[in-house]
Every structure is written in C-alpha cells, then in structure tokens.
A and B are shown apart, each in its own frame.
Chain A
C-alpha cells in the first residue's frame, strides 16, 4: 500500500452540553426539559427524595421494594395490566433506590410519550402496593441475594462498603437490604415509606428528546400535574465518614481462577473545587486501556483484561443547604487478574501509584486526557437518555443546571500540577482498603508479604 502522513484535524464544530429549561408545576414538581432534535426515543428521569438512610431501622431494602412496586399496579390497573400497558407504548420503566434517593427512568418513542407518562403519573399518584405483589417482590428479592453473593464484582463491592463505613451508617450495608431485613418488609412498611417520603414538592422530573409537535406543558398538566401531596421540611444529610486505614480483606473463593480486585476509599465530590482535577488525574491513572495502570498490568504484563480507576458520587449536598456540603465520592480501582498473578499485579499497581506520587503526570498525559474527556462529550451525549441521566444526576447532587457545561471549561483549564496533586491525594498508597475476592489458600501468603496493610480473610 501507499503510505500517507497522519492527517491533521479539520476545524472543530462547536458543541455545548445542552442547557435545560427549568420550571415548576402547580403541585410543586420541578421540571427540567430539553429538546434534542432527532432523538425519537424520549427519556424521562424522575428523582424522588427518598434516600436510603430514611429507611426505618431494620428495614433495609424497603426503598428498593417500594421502587419495584411502583411498576406493579395502581388504583386503575393490576400489576399485569400495568406492565402490559407500558409495553404497548414500547416503553421501558425502571425504578431503583440508591443513597441519594429513588430514580424512576422511562424511555419511550416520542409518539407515545403522553400515554406512557400518564401511566408513570398514575404509579406515583396511586400505587396499589397490593399485599400479594409486595410479598412476591420480597420473595423475589430474597432469591436474588445468592446470585449477587456469587458474583465476584458484586461481592467485592459489598465487602468494601462494609469495611469503609461505620456499622451504624446505612452506607456500610447493602443498598437492597440483607436476607434478614428484606424478610421483614410487608405492604404496610412499603406504604408507610411511600407516604412519608414521596411527594411532588420534593421531586424533580427531567424530560429529554425530540419534542417537536409535543405540547409538553399540556401533557405534563394532564399527567404528573395531577399528582398531589404536602410539603416537607428539608432533610438533614449527615456527613459521610470512612475508615481508610490501609488493609487487605480476602473474601475466600476456593478454586477461583481469578482474583477480583477492588481497592478504594472516599474522597471529594462535585461540590469540591478539586473535582475537575480529580477527574483528569483519575483518567490518567486508570481511565482507559492506555492509562498508567493498564499500560503495565494489561498491555505489558497481560495480568488482566482491564483495570479501571474511577470516582463515583455516593451522595452529595450543596454547601448552602441546611447541613452544608456533606457529600463524598467512592474512589476506587477495580478489575480482575488471574489467580497466579495476584501478587505481582498488586505489586505493580502499587509501583504505579508510588511512581505517580514521586514523579507526577506528564504534560503530554494531561493534554491527551483533556482532549479525550472534553472531546468525547458530543458522542457521549448523543442520546436523550444520556443527557437526561446527567441532568438528573446534577439535580440529585444539588448542582446547578449548567454544571456539566461548566465542567468542560474547567477541565480544559486544569493544569498538570493540579491534576497530579488531585490524583495522588485521591489514591494514597497507604490509605487504601483492598478487597480481594479469590482463592485465599493461593493468594494470602504472597499478598501478606507485599506490606500493603494487614491481611484478613473472610468466607465467601
């Protein structure tokens, strides 16, 4: 073939993260809307202010069962009818409970938005919470738990939460409850949780998609506008604390062919001015196949299919809220390595962290990271669902509606020194809790010899 020199880029066409229009319905529901031409599948995200730490003592999982029950019948439709009506619209509806609250996500072709939104409104206004359906959801949830326990990545995540957070904190325990707590949940408990926490005045709906020819105001008035409820006092958000004393916990899986790694602690959330630098630095450490970790662990040594470093906000509140800025993000490194390579992989991983702390990032690394993080934005936000998800995250984390748009500007301004400081602070080699789900008989002794912290073994 004839070789040609690498082409130079053309002129970039400007792109900006879409600015939503904010408004409110008479019932107090806040609405963010965003018209995205060409996106025929409309995404609706509804945030409900029902955080996990609002669950009554001993009833972990009630928020999850309530969320699932929103899909299981109303005053007008039985559970089977409700599912059938939604699917007749070509819609999908998911609801799940997490630390900040409950998120209800609807996706539906624009032509059937009115009908699907009417069903969602019905579920929020008058959920049936029939005893037999709740009983079924509870049994179903109990059946799911062994599947989660068996999955190495899920098992590791559960153990890390248990290690990091004080036993009294809701965050230390599984989001969807344990066998012991889920068993106690009944229709009355679900109803009580709903009555106490679900109301339009503390909810926010985000609607994104091609809204051409849709009278969204009229449509909202007829659907979510019909949902009523009282007002509520602002909810306190207790500070998140974690014990990140460097240590290793092995979750024993005799015979496992791989070791699942999850190495983490907590750190800054989006309200902290360090966030853009932390994003940049974390990307350089482990954001992709060519980041520092995979360059060694995957592309040089072949120990893994891939290791990633990331920051995931657990819960956030604004500095000017009643409790102040009490949020935090989980900072973690995750991946799996073949059993034999567990010790050498961890050794290399710590060498990467120490080298980073000693020598810092290079300008070139920083430049590539900025180009990628900023440059991929138009790709990342092509669909309505991705835009709606990010807008709802902002709302959930008490961030301004232009946060994401501003973030790109701030990333571009972040220098190499700031990014280095942020990632070194985020992942200090001596303040990381390491969870290893693997064959203790084969990995315990070599890992102990590494000196990355005290080693303990728990059963799988």
Chain B
C-alpha cells in the first residue's frame, strides 16, 4: 500500500485534497477528507461500459449492473439495497459508454458496511447469480427502456443520433440501454463471462470521501478487498478514435407521432481531458447554454421560432465527444428556417469569436456547475473516480474548474471554427405525423438529457 500524493491543496482546488493508494491486487484507492457533515461517500468505478460490448450483446454492461444488486456470496437477494437503506444510506449504480459506477452515501458510522458490501460483490457475485434474477432483471431493464426511451416523445433521438454520429462497428455506435433483441438474447453465461472478464480489483477505482479517518478507512479497504484476486482477462475496448471532422453532413428524418417539429444535431468534438474539449464546452455554453446564449436569444427571443433551443456537451474520453443541439420548434415553423438561423449563428461565432462578456458568463456558469458537483461528498467521489479511471490521475478533478477558467477567447473561437461546422454533424429532424396504426415497439420516441450519460439501476 504505497502512499502516492500527499494531502496538500493545489491551487484552484477550493482547499480540497485527495490521497492515492494501491492494493497489492491492483485496486486503486482515492481518499478525501471533509468533516463538515457526518457522511461518507463510497464510489466504485469499473473500467467497463457499453463500448466494451460486442455485436449482438448491446445493453449487457447495463443489464449486468442490475445483477450486481441481486445478492452475492454473503448478501441475500435484495440485501445490498436493504442493508444500505436500513443504515440510513442511499445508493445506486449507473452505466455509460465508458464505465460502470456504483455508489453509496452513508452516515459516517456506517461506512464500513458499504465497503464490506462492495467487496462482497466484487469478490463473490457469481456465488449468488442465478437464472431467476437474470430473467427478472431482464424484464425490469426492458421496462426501463420502454419507460425512458420508447414510450416518450423524442425518446429514441439520442440513440438515433449516436448511431449516425459514430459509424457502424464503432464502439460508441450503440447506447448503454441496448436493443430489445439483444436484451432478449443475453444469457446467464454471458453475464458470468462478463463478470469474470471485467469485474476485478485491477480494473476498478474506489474512492471514499467525507467524514473519514484515512488510516482506518484504508485498513478496512485492505481487510475487505485485499484478498480478492486480480486477473487480466480484460480485452481493451475497440479503438474509438475518428478523424477530427466527419467530412459531410449526415442526416435522418424521423416521421413520428411527436408534439412538434424538432431539429437535433450531434457535432463531433475533441476527446474529454483535453484543453480543446474545455474550449469546446465554453463555445457551446456561449452558443446554447442558458437564457443569455446566442441561440436562445436568436431563436426563442427574437425570431420566436423555437420553444426551446440549446446545446449540451457529452464528454467522452475514448472517442470524440458530442456537441448536442436540441431545438423544439414553435407551431407552424419550418425546419429550413431554423436550420439557416443556427448555421448563421455558428458561422458568425466562428468568424468573430466570443465577446469578453460572453466569456465571463460562460466561465461563471461552468464554474458554478463545478462547485455544485464538488459541493457534495458523492459528487466529489464520483469526479475523483472519473479522473482516475479515464485519465489516470484523480488530482485532476480538483483543478478541473481552474482549467476551464484558463481557456482563452481565441481558443474558444478556434474550437468553433474547427468543429462547429455543417460538414461535421449528424442531423436528426422530427416531422410529426397524425396518430395512425399502432407503432412498432422499437420505433417510438423522446429525449431525456440525463439519459445521455446512461442508465440508472
């Protein structure tokens, strides 16, 4: 258990510190103390997501995440949920393209229980995994898919745009929820193999944040996780790199029973973890974040052609990130009118760059978002894991806000010029149709921005 970084606050970290440790079996551990509230967050990131899935088994990483709550060697049935909640804690798990995370926030005096539970399933899940929980959770996940994607207007927009933006065969071509057919096809043996391949201490990062005694916490971690054997069965994900720009405008029109026309688009942007990605984030914020953004002012306030218009950023480390445009149109407005206005605003921004006031606003907004994320022990634990898993250095989480504040207007302009272009986007247009024959189950609709990240337990 060699000690890594020492606990000295870095500039721009808001006084937060984190220490790093590694068990002999390869489990990386990040600890961060904060005694303001008697709570402690446990967060465990496994370096596996939907990008590791193979053809015919989309959705397996997420379905598997559900199975992690169905008992393990010493925990019966729903015991994981029951024990955490009965201890006054809260918990969940989520699956995204790049990782699967599990987290518990506990009152301080129940921290040891959460560590014991996470270790038990990391080390002995297969002792409990059976056909019954597989069949049950398959049905639950299919209903999750229906509830969040298939039974809501525009629900499958994200899935459609992702499939357009990443070519066939690319590891990010499909989203974490997977297809109904693949969910049906998954077998208990698939789940067992998935666990044996990806769920190992040397493929995970554990962070514990809050009202903790670091020495005691580390001793518990050694006690519960230390005897779990490491293994190297993992296959690296297929390469996700792509050329900087798509090179053409990809386009799909969807005719569905939706309440209004919509124009959505995904722009190919730099990988997460780069300064260029932070610059792109600021560009998207100036253009489409909040109520003083250029697109909101143009489409909602002045032209009055849209109900809502904005940009979001899906940060990805193993493939180009996506800049996500979403415009829901006012009644009677035609798509070309809105599309022309969007292109005009983007071209103008690429030509002139942001004003100093716009830079100040965008940086202030992103700074507040970071303060929010680091303002809870659970948020901090998640960010420490994120930077450790994706970029190899948890300390980067504590200085992320400073990096966003360091980006210059010139860099923001350059990011827009390079990539916010019509030949670097996939476009999805929704054209409403009247209710007709019952729709095909797999082909109904909505967008839930939360769902971009993945799928909760």
Residues of A at under 8 Å CB distance from B? 1-4, 6-7, 9-15, 37-41, 71, 79-80, 83-84, 86-92, 107-109, 112, 136, 139-140, 142-144, 146-147, 149-152, 254-258, 260, 288-290, 295, 298-305, 336-338, 367-368, 371-372, 374-379, 382-383, 439, 460
Contacts and interface: CB of A to CB of B under 8 A. Distances in A.
Contact of B259 (A1, A88, A149): A149
Contacts of B73: 1, 3
Contact of B146 (A13, A136, A338, A368): A338
B233 to A, nearest CB: 16
Given A13-B107, A136-B300, 15 more contacts: A1-B119, A3-B73, A7-B116, A10-B112, A87-B361, A88-B357, A88-B361, A112-B364, A147-B153, A288-B81, A289-B81, A302-B140, A304-B143, A368-B85, A383-B376
Interface in B194-252: 211, 220, 223-224, 227-229
A139 B361 contact: no
21 contacts: A1-B227, A4-B224, A9-B110, A40-B375, A41-B368, A90-B364, A139-B330, A140-B330, A152-B151, A254-B435, A254-B438, A255-B444, A290-B78, A301-B136, A302-B136, A304-B140, A305-B148, A336-B151, A371-B86, A379-B106, A439-B438
Interface centre among B82, B88, B444 (most CB of A within 10 A): B88
B21 interface: no
Contacts of A260: 151
B255 interface: no
B345 interface: no
A208 to B, nearest CB: 12
B304 interface: yes
Interface string B101-135: 00001111111110010011001100000000001
B145 to A, nearest CB: 9
A147 B39 contact: no
A4 B224 CA distance: 7
Contact of A83 (B90, B223, B291): B291
Contacts of A300: 136
A80 B358 CA distance: 13
B82 A290 contact: yes
A71 B291 contact: yes
Contact of A305 (B34, B81, B143, B360): B143
B170 interface: no
A90 B367 contact: yes
B88 A147 contact: no
Given A9-B110, A147-B328, A371-B87, A298 B140 contact: yes
Contacts of B140: 298-299, 302, 304-305
A45 B144 CA distance: 34
A3 B277 CA distance: 44
A7 B146 contact: no
Contacts of B146: 257-258, 336, 338
A12 B151 contact: no
A58 to B, nearest CB: 23
Contacts of B227: 1-2
Interface in B372-391: 372, 375-378
A35 B375 CA distance: 15
Nearest to A376: B88
Contact of B304 (A7, A109, A139, A371): A139
B301 A84 contact: no
Interface in B309-348: 328, 330-331
Nearest to A37: B36
Contacts of B77: 299
A375 B74 contact: no
Nearest to A288: B85
B138 interface: yes
Q: Which of B81, B143, B292 lies at the interface centre, i.e. has the most chain A CB atoms within 10 A of its CB?
A: B143
Contacts of A3: 73-74, 120, 124
A178 to B, nearest CB: 15
B439 A39 contact: no
Given A90-B364, A337-B143, A376-B90, A7 B113 contact: yes
Contact of B290 (A87, A107, A439): A87
A152 B357 CA distance: 41
Contact of A12 (B107, B307, B357): B107
B260 A143 contact: yes
A108 B368 contact: yes
Contacts of B148: 305
Nearest to B328: A147
A302 B143 CA distance: 8
B152 interface: yes
Contact of B113 (A6, A14, A143, A376): A6
B34 A38 contact: yes
A382 B37 contact: yes
A299 B438 contact: no
Interface string B56-82: 000000000000000001100110011
B87 A375 contact: yes
B44 to A, nearest CB: 15
B281 interface: no
B14 interface: yes
Contacts of B124: 1, 3
Contact of A144 (B297, B307, B364, B372): B307
B304 A39 contact: no
B38 interface: yes
B152 A151 contact: yes
A279 to B, nearest CB: 15
Nearest to B297: A80
Contacts of B361: 84, 87-88
Nearest to B38: A13
B20 interface: no
